[in-house]
Amino acid sequence: MRSDSIKKGLARTPHRGLLMATGVSKSNMDKPFIGIASSFSDLVPGHIGMRDLERQIEKGIHSAGGQSFIFGVPAVCDGIAMGHCGMRYSLPSRDLIADCVETVSEAHQLDGLVLLSNCDKITPGMLIAALRINIPTIVVTAGPMLDGECQGHHKLTMVTGSFEAVGKYRKGEISEDELLAMEEASCPSAGSCQGMYTANTMACLTEILGMSLPFCSSSSAVSALKRRIAFESGMRIVELVKDDIKPADIITKESLRNMITADLALGGSTNTFLHTLAIANAGGIDVTLDDFNELAQKVHQIVKINPSSTLTMADFHYAGGVPAVIKSLNSAKLLNDTKTLSGSTTFEIGEKALIDTSIIPYYKNSAYTKAGLAVLYGNLAKGGCVIKTSGVDSDCYEFCGCAKTFDSEEDAMYALENDLIKEGDVIVIRYEGPKGGPGMREMLAPTSLLVGKGLGKKCALITDGRFSGATRGICVGHIVPEAAEGGEIALVKDGDKIKIDINSQRITLLVSDDELSKRRSELKPFELKCQSGYLAKYAKNVQDASHGAIV
């Protein structure tokens, strides 16, 4: 065992003494040492219930003959960080989390890991660490929260009950009392927010990837099933250590392409482009934006979950969850049969699945014809950009409007709040990319305000920043090159015509090459906004969004 390097032999007497100080008994010294990397936090709704899950995982590890050790990693709530300078830390926290897990695991020579995660950047950060360390590892995602409801408003979510409700209040559609009632009811329990936003998308994709047990992604954070899955994951990690099954055995090009296929079929968060590419990079696996583009030509969506419909993760779970998605996609032979940590292959999980076809139909019976996500290219995004097509009304697949430019999210929010945005506008938010932000902030506040004010189908928003998985509407993000790198988005002027064509996967700035050359000669060099601290280090080292914003 790897941990023998800290507990075997005469020279390790001091080490054993220190381990005994933590409570390890002599009889347990020869057992596999399993770390539980827990992102518990009182600050993050998706993580407040993890103390109970830690206990269940511990019980499983000890029942199977292992010795557990809990250690902490940071967690950021994107919803709370949204709309202010704190959001600059969200994406960079992914790399911080990976570094934390790697550091503790390597420093203490752990034999295996259980990664207890839930929210947006924590799950991908932990998967990046798992591939870097490559010791037996299993992921437990803590699960979605219950649906909210208050009088007159059924099945509220964090988005409909708060972010979009602000726009409805400003438009006069609801009263202040209704707004306050929805605010209080929108997030009624522990768990990740209720829709197919980034947290739940990444949880589903981790399950598809084979790194968590069946139904882990969709079972409610407050359910008995979640507690049982946590216990079973604790049991399973000891078996994985004994059988020496590692993340690199599970996360392969074939399983990552399964992950992309499922992502396109579910219409998940656009953040998954960043995370999938970063995970592939950590494992040295040849998966690029071209894989998304290629598969998007073959795969169409099978189900729409909030924010693209009124269905929530609770509905998704009762319809069969990820195993039902596997069954649906397998009916059209769209997946590879890969290993999973459960001991069953992907195909075997799909074969056993029960499926409610009224929610998750078999692939050929789906009502949709396009993938739920798309990559666009054009003179405005030569390195690519992304859009969540599942959140766009089909009548808006071709949109042409006049640019209104803003050099920060705050400036755009001021314009929206003061009714300076009109039908037909294309809001351009730039200098919010990985380097320019720095940190590539999410734009849920402006996109939600657009929808809430009834402009979701009448305006577009493009940015070199990114979007929450809760975003819907004609919203194009991850524009590469970003403005801070001299990308064409920095050259756009108010009144320029911009055409977004989802059908042909193009985004075009309708300005002549000569005019753009003239504007480029007048463009001032970009100066980093942060000159010290973590964000300064991040901005100096981060790569572009089309390479996963890796550091």
Query: How many helical (H) and strand (E) elements, i.e. helices and strands, does the chain have?
Result: 21, 14
Of 5, 468, 512, 546, the catalytic one is 468
Q: b/e per residue, 1-22, with b = 16+ CB within 10 A?
A: bbbeebbeeeeeeebbeebeee
In 3D space, the residue among 34, 436, 432 whose CA is nearest the CA of residue 242 turns out to be 34
| Residue 254 buriedness (CB in 10 A; 0-12 / 13-18 / 19+) | middle
468 part of the active site: yes
Report the distance separating Cα 444 and Cα 193, nearest Å. Answer: 14
For every residue of 218-270, DSSP letters joined together read: TS-TTSHHHHHHHHHHHHHHHHHHHHT--HHHHS-HHHHHHHHHHHHHHT--T
In 3D space, the residue among 303, 366, 301, 342 whose CA is nearest the CA of residue 208 turns out to be 342
Do the Cβ atoms of 60 and 34 come closer than 8 Å? no
Report the distance separating Cα 277 and Cα 395, nearest Å. Answer: 31
Report the distance separating Cα 468 and Cα 198, nearest Å. Answer: 7
Report the distance separating Cα 13 and Cα 365, nearest Å. Answer: 65
Report the distance separating Cα 181 and Cα 18, nearest Å. Answer: 53
| Residue 42 buriedness (CB in 10 A; 0-12 / 13-18 / 19+) | exposed
Q: Where are the beta strands (DSSP E) in 278-424?
A: 374-378, 381-387, 398-406
- Beta partners for 34? 68, 112
Handedness of CA 316, 322, 326, 327 (dihedral sign): negative
In 3D space, the residue among 234, 339, 341, 243 whose CA is nearest the CA of residue 1 turns out to be 243
Report the distance separating Cα 109 and Cα 238, nearest Å. Answer: 15
Runs of H (alpha helix) within 286-384: 289-296, 313-318, 321-330, 346-352
Strands 425-429 and 398-406: parallel
Question: Which secondary-structure segment (H or E) carries 210?
Answer: none
Q: What is the set of active-site residues?
A: 468
